[in-house]
Amino acid sequence: MNGHCSYQLLIEVKRPVRCVIGRLGAFEFPAGCYTYTGSAKRGLEARISRHLRPKKSLRWHVDFLLGAPGVKITKVIRSCRDECRLNQASPGNVLVPGFGSSDCNAGCRSHLKYIG
């Protein structure tokens, strides 16, 4: 492990939403539950607090989704597992290739998964 921990956000999308995710483009997100896996080299709690704030600049892919109407974080899970290993061990389907994984070198197709 690189001396930092990772986290997962459980996200609820109340009704289908179309959202532009930065340079990735526009995507349809079906209603249901999602899991997003992230990490912070320093300041894990600050990163999680930032995700939980309703108003923030749109910096990471997940910010665009969390800013959409009817989308909210329902649970935060902290882990000392490597971000990519945690992501790869989590169930779900990839709807947006490259989401949150642009700096991934472990072969993750996406760090956002649709659980259903």
1 located within any domain? no
98 located within any domain? yes
34 located within any domain? yes
pTM of the model: 0.92
Q: 52: closest CA among 68, 33, 26, 75?
A: 75
69 located within any domain? yes
89 located within any domain? yes
- Mean pLDDT confidence for 1-5: 57
Tens of pLDDT, residues 21-31: 999 999 999 99
52 located within any domain? yes
42 located within any domain? yes
Number of domains observed in the structure of the chain:
1
pLDDT value, residue 104: 83
- Residue 11 belongs to domain spanning: 6-114
Average pLDDT over the chain reads: 93
Determine which helix (DSSP H) or strand (DSSP E) holds 72, and give its type and residue range. strand 71-79
